[in-house]
């Protein structure tokens, strides 16, 4: 499809760096007319940077953009828009208070005599446009009164009606109902027929295979693969995204994980029953027994962090229940979860973990203060004891407990957070990407610690995008896709390939 | 007072280190410098009466600043303190018919109630602190003016005593400010509440995930600020022997914010320096006194204050980089 | 969300309720204001300056009693001066049987005062009495009034425009003169010798400027041995007056006289002196205004003298208006004669103070 015809939009050898990271490293990308092109990749792969370069938000350090065969450069997003490149974000960027019709035709309203907006004409035109997109709605209503899907459709209709040649959609279905998704795909089909190109960013494999012609996989700022989607096996696509070659089965022993743990029989220490949350989680059930490490597998956006947060009380859910050590938890209360014995190590250490202004000591004691005080007054002696023990135990390297936590290395900060969880007397640890962004040595230490803790009888729920870590660290792996459990592997079934296969087609043993 | 010792920071550049030192100890150095200047150049400065005067005058600023420090520690701000002083002053004379104790309690309850209102707006309705308390700044001053439309004198001996009596040579007003300073320092340093409020200011998301009752902490902090402002209002009223809601506490929020920021508490929250705040208040007071004693225009105070705030904020920012 | 709003509403309601069961201190021993006592007397004779008649102004005669009369007050009635000023206009209108008096208050916002007056004109006012907040910026209003030939009497503060054409006339005190008279009192109090401190009014205010200049000029002229060693603003408030005086008496114990540019600051100074253990009369205080509390201060021995700035403009303003519509010539400027309160007359004059 891309052969012969000149691409509508092309990026050649684009590099873009930010302080400390090279986000894009020589990325090339071709978009042919009337093509729906999937752009995929895990966290930090460079997708959003590439989109921002294509839409004029960022200027590339190296490389060039070509539009209709000629070189272009977009100084601002407006330049890109004028050149016919439209972007539809997850968050619709229209004026919610204005009517659907006004939003649709904003800036291009039909004018009657004296330059006054011809309202009748406006509504007629708007109705015509909306019906073309299969939306039955009163175009005089304010936009915000519509559902998310319909709003998205208005945004799309608007984007197309301003003569867009290229439409970039970033996770357009994340807030849509299945019926709305069908409508959206119908519209995308129309666009394709009309020669308009679509760049489609999504983590939902189903969707990609339904509507995309081409796919480009980004990994660590480089193009890992580009080509037609139809002939590409799902498991191969996943392997590309995760940086794993299915043919190359590595030897074990790359991580510090020792091997299987012996889960104690008896009651699970944490049990999530049929957790549901609109657009994010669908009937997710997970049980972790004492002494067991349960891995959560899946791609970005599969609902892994959401599951952990829901269990920890940090994310309210619509249906289902969480039981920790026999106690049914109140929804949306981290305090209740901590009291019952479930503690979360958040994915984003800086934003949700450390309190940078406080000392190592105060950070460790933070969640456990109610246990370490009497009548509201903190017992410094008890805090000192707990902090001392944990710092030694987790080998936290700080000049003193009073050193500011922000002065520590990433790995030691992570250990401080682990210590914070342990200080609460947790019975189960919910670890969301515990080794991301820390150096190799620290990574090995954290992995060894997880083993030790499980051996001592703690339950661990482990989320990791590092497949190797997941496979070697977990006794069982529950695989999520689009917010639902699509497979569960245990014992010798836990292999990288099995996980990828489960992600790809929901195979594996049903849980 | 609320800081911990024994920190060994990573090697820092010379400039960064200077800024760090300035942010932490600049206020002490400035107070010392100003004291030395006055000792050398101001007649009658080294007299007990002079220190009494300065301490009496600084007491309400100190008390209001303590509450402000707690609020700023949570990354908030309370612009309503001056108006709360006026309201508490109005309440005192309105209820003086029941006797001084009842009147004082009424004033304190009113201050706490305003704080609860502001805190609820911030914690539960998600209104930005600066917006919520700006609304209160305007509204509460108006309410105070409605309650007591013009300056009203009183003769209640108990209340006048509160404003003018000394115990062991120390004015009651000063003793109260000192006790409240100790209480707030204890609160910040030794209690769960103190640790938690600092964590809420340092990283709200982390505080939430760690199971801290973030909303209750926020409400409590604004209640304390309202309460302390009301105490300051009562004391200022007792000292003036009249209630004047039209002018009492005007621009107090600016003095308090200055005292807190200059004292080393960053506007971005996550830290509360109690002793530094008291020093900050003293610095403002000494500055004003120095200008008055040397018969220089007081409008200079505002300009010098502005320079000091800028320096403090610069030191805080420069350090972060 | 509605529950949260409920919280806030509850807090506000609780606050409003606070005023409901209030019971303030009983202070019934202070004498009640004595009606129309202390009425203003014009000081400058009509023949002295330029005059104005109905003919030269170019208006139509009307009956003041039946006409709509507008009064625009500048600041809210939170101090004795403004309270007495508004009350005097209202009382006199009532006494004369003016049925249609409309009173507005600009709450210290000049833009509001302009729109207030425009409203009054729109409501068909035939006569306007204005206590201006500013001297400048009145052109739009004056133009509107001139088109309809509505006479404007400005009280207590002048506006920068042409009397008898842009507006009718000004009635008020001479603040410079008040300063001079305060100086005379201070000279008498100190016997022409000593160190004097000035508690200035709010900075950038023409009342402050005039009262300061009058005082200083007179001292320089009559008593060169009196030294003005200290000038600090007390911003016309009691609290600032107290604070500044506390600093003053501590660092300049030699100060023998304090000139306060209004009564509130003088009373603040008295509180400061009491707090420092001084006895009445040890430091001579002279101030300007003539509020009841200040005159009581003279009786109690804390104040030496108070120069009056009489706010009771009602009678003189309406007299002037009636003369004008009756065709008589009225002066373009009427300076009122302010009284003086001293130990000799304070006790008997308490009823005149406002």
pLDDT digits (tens, 9 = 90+) for B99-135: 999 999 999 999 999 999 999 999 999 999 999 999 9
Chain B residues with CB under 8 Å of A330 CB are: none
Cβ contact (<8 Å) for C251 and B91? Answer: no
pLDDT in tens, A302-353: 899 999 999 999 999 999 999 999 889 988 899 999 999 999 999 888 889 9
Q: How far is it, in rounded angstroms, from Cα B47 to Cα B32?
A: 17
Q: What is the DSSP letter of A352?
A: I
What is the pLDDT at residue C15? 59
What is the pLDDT at residue B3? 39
Token pair 């501590």 is found at C250
User: How near does any CA of chain B get to the CA of A309, in Å?
Assistant: 9
Buried b (16+ CB within 10 A) or exposed e, B255-285: bbbbbbbbbbbbbebbbbbbbbbbbbbbbbb
Give the range with max mean pLDDT: A119-133, B193-207, B286-300.
B193-207
Chains A and B touch (3+ CB pairs under 8 A): yes
Token pair 């482990």 is found at A462
Band of residue B182 on the pLDDT scale cut at 50, 70, 90? very high
pLDDT in tens, B147-157: 998 899 999 99
The yes-or-no verdict on residue B217 having pLDDT over 90 is yes
Over pLDDT 90: what percentage of chain A?
A: 48
Chain B residues with CB under 8 Å of C275 CB are: 164, 239
- Quick one: which of C294, C281, C305 has its CA closest to C350? C294
Q: How far is it, in rounded angstroms, from Cα C152 to Cα B118?
A: 46
What is the pLDDT at residue A142? 86
The yes-or-no verdict on residue A174 having pLDDT over 80 is no
Of A358, A400, A404, which is closest to B198 when you measure between CB atoms?
A358
SS (H, E, C) C237-297: CHHHHHHHHHHHHHHCCCEEEEEECCHHHHHHHHHHHHHCCCCCCCCEEEEEECCHHHHHH
Around C310, how many Cα atoms within 13 Å sit in the side-chain half-sphere? 27
The yes-or-no verdict on residue A413 having pLDDT over 50 is yes
Q: Which helix (H) or strand (E) holds A429?
A: strand A428-432
Average the pLDDT over each of A106-120, A279-293, A332-346, B161-175 and give the range with the smallest value.
A106-120
- Quick one: which of C293, C349, C311 has its CA closest to C81? C311
User: How near does any CA of chain C get to the CA of B30, in Å?
Assistant: 21
What is the pLDDT at residue C5? 54
| B-C contacts at Cβ under 8 angstroms | 136
Over pLDDT 90: what percentage of chain B?
A: 79
| Opening angle at CA B226, ends B276 and B119, nearest 5 | 105
Encoded tokens for B173: 């007003």
For CA atoms B221, B223, B226, B232, the dihedral sign is negative
Of B192, B202, B211, which is closest to A355 when you measure between CB atoms?
B202
φ/ψ region of C194 (left if φ > 0, alpha if ψ in -120 to 50, else beta) reads left
Best of B54, B174, B244 to disrupt the C interface (most C CBs within 10 Å) is B244
Phi/psi at C260 (5° precision): -105, 130
The yes-or-no verdict on residue A177 having pLDDT over 80 is no
Phi/psi at C340 (5° precision): -120, 140
The yes-or-no verdict on residue A393 having pLDDT over 50 is yes
Of C7, C24, C252, which is closest to B120 when you measure between CB atoms?
C7
CB B286 within 8 A of CB B54: yes
| Alpha helix stretches (DSSP H) within A15-138 | 47-54, 77-82, 100-104, 119-132
pLDDT in tens, C52-72: 888 888 878 888 888 999 999
User: How near does any CA of chain B get to the CA of C352, in Å?
Assistant: 20
Q: How far is it, in rounded angstroms, from Cα B195 to Cα A302?
A: 36
Q: How far is it, in rounded angstroms, from Cα A337 to Cα B209?
A: 10
What is the pLDDT at residue A249? 42
Cβ contact (<8 Å) for B211 and A337? Answer: yes
What is the pLDDT at residue C20? 66
The yes-or-no verdict on residue C13 having pLDDT over 90 is no
Average pLDDT over chain A, rounded to an integer: 86
The model's pTM: 0.82
**Could you tell me which chains touch chain C, where touching means 3 or more CB pairs under 8 A?**
B
φ/ψ region of A313 (left if φ > 0, alpha if ψ in -120 to 50, else beta) reads left
User: How near does any CA of chain B get to the CA of A376, in Å?
Assistant: 5
What is the pLDDT at residue B10? 44
In whole angstroms, how far apart are CA C306 and each of A254, C177, C295, C313? 95, 13, 7, 19
Mean pLDDT (whole number) for B234-240: 96
Band of residue B9 on the pLDDT scale cut at 50, 70, 90? very low
Closest residue on chain C to B295 (Cα): C230
Chain B residues with CB under 8 Å of A337 CB are: 211
Q: How far is it, in rounded angstroms, from Cα C296 to Cα C294?
A: 5
Cβ contact (<8 Å) for B96 and C25? Answer: yes
Of B191, B207, B266, which is closest to A376 when you measure between CB atoms?
B191
CB B245 within 8 A of CB B99: no
Mean pLDDT (whole number) for A1-6: 54
pLDDT in tens, C132-173: 988 888 998 999 998 889 999 999 888 888 888 899 999 999
Q: How far is it, in rounded angstroms, from Cα C59 to Cα B307?
A: 58
Band of residue C307 on the pLDDT scale cut at 50, 70, 90? very high
φ/ψ region of B202 (left if φ > 0, alpha if ψ in -120 to 50, else beta) reads alpha
Give the range with max mean pLDDT: A344-353, A499-508, B197-206, C79-88.
B197-206
Band of residue C33 on the pLDDT scale cut at 50, 70, 90? very low
* Higher per-residue pLDDT: B25 or B4: B25
Token pair 């954290």 is found at A446
Best of B117, B227, B285 to disrupt the C interface (most C CBs within 10 Å) is B117
pLDDT in tens, A220-247: 899 999 999 998 888 888 888 887 765 4
Mean pLDDT (whole number) for C271-297: 94
Over pLDDT 70: what percentage of chain A?
A: 92
Average the pLDDT over each of A253-257, A435-439, B222-226, C76-80 and give the range with the smallest value.
A253-257
What is the pLDDT at residue C8? 56
For CA atoms A297, A298, A301, A307, the dihedral sign is negative
In whole angstroms, how far apart are CA A410 and each of A173, A354, A356, A446? 35, 10, 12, 12
Three-class SS state of C147: helix
Strand partners, A430: A344, A461
Cβ contact (<8 Å) for C79 and B151? Answer: yes
What is the pLDDT at residue A204? 82
- Quick one: which of A326, A258, A316, A317 has its CA closest to A289? A326
Q: How far is it, in rounded angstroms, from Cα C252 to Cα A454?
A: 77
Of A344, A356, A407, which is closest to B209 when you measure between CB atoms?
A344
pLDDT in tens, A35-73: 999 999 887 788 889 999 998 889 999 999 999 989 999
What is the pLDDT at residue B321? 40
The yes-or-no verdict on residue C3 having pLDDT over 60 is no
Chain B residues with CB under 8 Å of C264 CB are: 151
In whole angstroms, how far apart are CA C305 and each of B99, C267, C309, C338? 35, 12, 13, 13
The yes-or-no verdict on residue A252 having pLDDT over 90 is no
Three-class SS state of B297: coil
């Amino acid at each position: 499809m891309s052969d012969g015809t000149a691409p509508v939009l092309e990026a050649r050898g684009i590099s873009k760096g930010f302080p400390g990271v090279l986000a894009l490293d020589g990325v090339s990308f071709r978009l042919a007319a009337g093509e729906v092109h999937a752009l995929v990749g895990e966290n930090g792969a460079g997708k959003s940077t590439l989109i921002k370069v294509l839409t004029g938000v960022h200027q590339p350090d190296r490389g060039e953009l070509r539009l209709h065969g000629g070189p272009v450069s977009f100084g601002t997003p407006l330049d890109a828009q004028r050149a016919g490149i439209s972007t539809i974000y997850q968050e619709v960027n229209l004026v919610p208070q204005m009517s659907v019709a006004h939003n649709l035709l904003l800036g291009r309203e039909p004018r009657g005599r004296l330059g006054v907006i011809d309202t009748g004409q406006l509504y007629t035109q708007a109705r015509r446009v909306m019906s073309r997109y299969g939306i039955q709605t009163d175009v005089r209503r304010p936009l915000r009164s519509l559902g998310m899907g319909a709003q998205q459709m208005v945004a799309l209709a608007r984007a197309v009606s301003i003569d867009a040649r290229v439409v970039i959609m970033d996770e357009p279905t994340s807030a849509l109902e299945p019926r709305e998704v069908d409508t959206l795909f119908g519209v995308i089909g129309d666009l394709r027929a009309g020669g308009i190109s679509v760049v489609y960013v999504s983590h939902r494999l189903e969707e990609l295979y339904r509507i995309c012609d081409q796919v480009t996989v980004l990994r660590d700022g480089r193009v890992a693969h580009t080509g037609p989607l139809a002939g590409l096996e799902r498991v191969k696509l996943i392997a590309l995204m995760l940086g794993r070659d299915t043919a190359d089965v590595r030897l074990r022993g790359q991580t510090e994980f020792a091997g299987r743990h012996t889960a104690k029989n008896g009651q699970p220490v944490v049990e999530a029953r049929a957790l549901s949350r609109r657009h994010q989680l669908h009937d997710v059930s997970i049980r972790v027994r004492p002494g067991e490490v349960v891995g959560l597998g899946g791609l970005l956006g599969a609902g892994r962090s959401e599951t952990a947060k829901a269990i920890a009380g940090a994310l309210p859910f619509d249906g289902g229940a969480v039981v920790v050590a026999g106690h049914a938890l109140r929804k949306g209360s981290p305090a209740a979860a901590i009291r019952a014995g479930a503690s979360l190590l958040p994915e984003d250490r800086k934003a949700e973990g450390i309190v940078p202004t406080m000392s190592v000591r105060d950070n460790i004691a933070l969640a456990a203060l109610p246990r370490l005080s009497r009548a509201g007054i903190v017992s410094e002696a008890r805090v000192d004891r707990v902090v001392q023990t944990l710092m030694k135990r987790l080998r936290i390297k700080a000049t003193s407990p009073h050193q500011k936590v922000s002065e520590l290395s990433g790995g030691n900060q992570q250990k401080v957070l682990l210590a914070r969880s342990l200080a609460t007397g947790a019975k189960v640890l919910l670890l969301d990407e515990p080794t991301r962004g820390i150096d190799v040595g620290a990574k090995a230490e954290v992995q060894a610690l997880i083993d030790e803790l499980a051996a001592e009888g703690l339950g661990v729920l482990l989320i990791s995008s590092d497949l190797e870590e997941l496979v070697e660290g977990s006794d069982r792996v529950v695989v999520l896709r689009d917010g639902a459990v699509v497979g569960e592997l245990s014992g010798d079934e836990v292999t990288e390939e099995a996980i990828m296969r489960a992600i790809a087609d929901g195979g594996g043993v049903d849980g | 007072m609320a800081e911990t010792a024994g920190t060994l920071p990573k090697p820092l550049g010379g400039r960064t280190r200077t800024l760090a030192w300035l942010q932490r100890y600049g206020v002490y150095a400035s107070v010392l410098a100003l004291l030395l200047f006055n000792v050398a150049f101001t007649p009658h400065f080294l007299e007990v009466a002079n220190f009494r005067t300065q301490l009496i005058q600084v007491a309400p600023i100190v008390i209001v600043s303590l509450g402000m420090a707690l609020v700023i520690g949570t990354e908030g701000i309370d612009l309503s303190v001056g108006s709360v002083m006026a309201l508490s002053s109005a309440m005192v004379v309105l209820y003086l018919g029941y006797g001084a104790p009842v009147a004082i309690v009424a004033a304190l309850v009113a201050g706490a109630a305003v704080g609860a209102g502001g805190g609820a707006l911030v914690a539960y309705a998600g209104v930005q602190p600066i917006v919520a308390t700006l609304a209160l700044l305007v509204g509460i001053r108006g309410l105070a003016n409605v309650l007591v439309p013009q300056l009203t004198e009183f003769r209640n001996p108990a209340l006048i005593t509160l404003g003018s009596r000394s115990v062991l040579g120390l004015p009651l007003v000063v003793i109260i400010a000192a006790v409240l300073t100790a209480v707030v320092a204890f609160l910040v340093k030794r209690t769960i509440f103190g640790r938690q409020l600092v964590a809420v200011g340092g990283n709200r998301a982390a505080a939430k995930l760690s199971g801290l009752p973030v909303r209750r902490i926020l409400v409590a902090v604004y209640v304390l600020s309202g309460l302390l402002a009301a105490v300051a209002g009562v004391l200022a009223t007792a000292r003036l022997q009249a209630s004047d809601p039209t002018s009492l506490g005007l621009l107090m929020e600016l003095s308090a914010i200055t005292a807190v920021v200059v004292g080393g508490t960053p506007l971005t929250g996550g830290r509360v320096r109690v002793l530094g705040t008291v020093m900050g208040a003293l610095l403002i007071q000494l500055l004003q006194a120095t200008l008055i004693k040397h018969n220089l225009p007081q409008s200079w105070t505002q300009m010098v204050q502005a320079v000091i705030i800028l320096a403090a904020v610069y030191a805080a920012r420069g350090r972060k980089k | 969300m509605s529950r949260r709003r409920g919280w806030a509403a509850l807090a506000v309601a609780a606050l409003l309720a606070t005023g409901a069961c209030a019971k303030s201190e009983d202070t019934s021993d202070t004498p009640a204001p004595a009606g129309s006592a202390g009425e203003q007397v014009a000081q400058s004779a009509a023949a002295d300056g330029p005059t104005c008649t109905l003919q030269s102004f170019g208006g139509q005669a009307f009956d003041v009693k039946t006409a709509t009369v507008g009064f625009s007050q500048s600041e809210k009635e939170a101090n004795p001066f403004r309270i007495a000023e508004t009350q005097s206009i209202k009382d006199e209108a009532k006494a004369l049987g003016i049925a249609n008096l409309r009173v507005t208050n600009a709450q210290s916002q000049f833009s509001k005062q302009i729109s207030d007056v425009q409203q009054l004109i729109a409501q068909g006012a035939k006569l306007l009495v204005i206590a201006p907040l500013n001297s400048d910026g009145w052109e739009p209003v004056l133009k509107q009034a001139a088109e309809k030939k509505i006479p404007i009497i400005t009280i207590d503060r002048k506006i920068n425009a042409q009397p008898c054409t842009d507006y009718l006339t000004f009635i008020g005190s001479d603040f410079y003169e008040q300063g001079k008279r305060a100086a005379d009192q201070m000279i008498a109090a100190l016997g022409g010798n000593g160190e004097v401190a000035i508690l200035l009014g709010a900075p950038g205010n023409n009342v402050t400027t005039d009262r300061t200049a009058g005082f200083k000029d007179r001292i320089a002229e009559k008593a060169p041995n009196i030294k003005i060693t200290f000038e600090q603003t007390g911003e016309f408030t009691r609290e600032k007056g107290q604070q500044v005086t506390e600093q003053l008496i501590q660092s300049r114990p030699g100060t023998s006289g304090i000139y306060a540019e209004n009564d509130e600051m003088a009373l603040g100074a008295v509180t400061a002196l009491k707090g420092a253990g001084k006895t009445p009369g040890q430091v001579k205080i002279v101030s300007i205004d003539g509020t009841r509390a200040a005159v009581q201060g003279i009786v109690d021995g804390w104040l030496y003298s108070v120069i009056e700035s009489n706010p009771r403009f009602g009678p003189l303003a309406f007299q002037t208006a009636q003369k004008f519509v009756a065709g008589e010539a009225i002066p373009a400027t009427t300076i009122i004669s302010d009284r003086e309160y001293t130990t000799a007359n304070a006790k008997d004059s308490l009823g005149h103070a406002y």
